[in-house]
């Protein structure tokens, strides 16, 4: 559980719990468009998407996939501890894809601002194709108070 993560319990190389989302439904595209205000038909209208060169139809909002990454991170690290999250979009996601987010601790250090861990994260589809690569850092509490 995210509330039980302490600096002393985390080591470089540790894996964060994986999170799988999907298969992604076209309905999620429409719901996300409404929530985000991004009504680009590239995400909701197969005919439009094909007309602009997407032979397989609509693509998933990149920010929806980034939201999955954020959910995976904050399922492990308490939100209050998260210092930053940055990502690079690496591939298109489509309806029917299942996205799995994994990550690993790459650095652990103590500094004036706290007990900091840095982790790399990656979101891949069921074929192993990378959709997002990223990194986050968090300031974790110490067991010693």
What integer pLDDT is reported at residue 145 of this predicted model? 63
What pLDDT does 144 receive?
A: 80
Q: Supply the Cα-derived Rg of the chain in whole angstroms.
A: 17
**pLDDT at site 66:** 97
Spatial separation of the C-alpha atoms in residues 6 and 3, rounded to whole Å: 9
3-state helix, strand, coil in the chain (%, to 5): 30, 35, 35
Residue 113 falls in which region: left (phi positive, over 0), alpha (psi -120 to 50) or beta = alpha
pLDDT at site 12: 98
pTM as predicted: 0.93
Confidence at residue 131, expressed as pLDDT on a 0 to 100 scale: 98
**The pLDDT of residue 86:** 98
Q: What is the mean pLDDT of each run of 10 residues along the chain (145 residues)?
A: 79 98 95 95 95 96 97 96 97 97 97 93 98 97 83
List of domains in the chain: 10-140 (3.10.129.10)
């Amino acid at each position: 559980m995210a509330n039980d993560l302490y600096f002393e319990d985390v080591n470089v190389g540790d894996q964060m719990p994986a999170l799988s989302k999907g298969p992604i439904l076209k309905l999620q595209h429409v719901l996300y468009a409404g929530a985000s205000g991004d009504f680009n038909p590239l995400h909701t209208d197969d005919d439009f998407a094909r007309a602009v060169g997407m032979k397989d139809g609509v693509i998933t909002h990149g920010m929806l996939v980034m939201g999955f990454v954020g959910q995976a991170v904050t399922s492990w690290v308490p939100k209050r501890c998260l210092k930053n999250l940055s990502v690079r979009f690496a591939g298109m996601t489509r309806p029917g894809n299942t996205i799995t987010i994994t990550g690993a601790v790459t650095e652990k250090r103590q500094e004036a601002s706290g007990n900091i861990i840095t982790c790399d994260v990656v979101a891949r589809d069921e074929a192993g194709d990378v959709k997002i690569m990223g990194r986050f850092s968090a300031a974790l509490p110490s067991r010693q108070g």
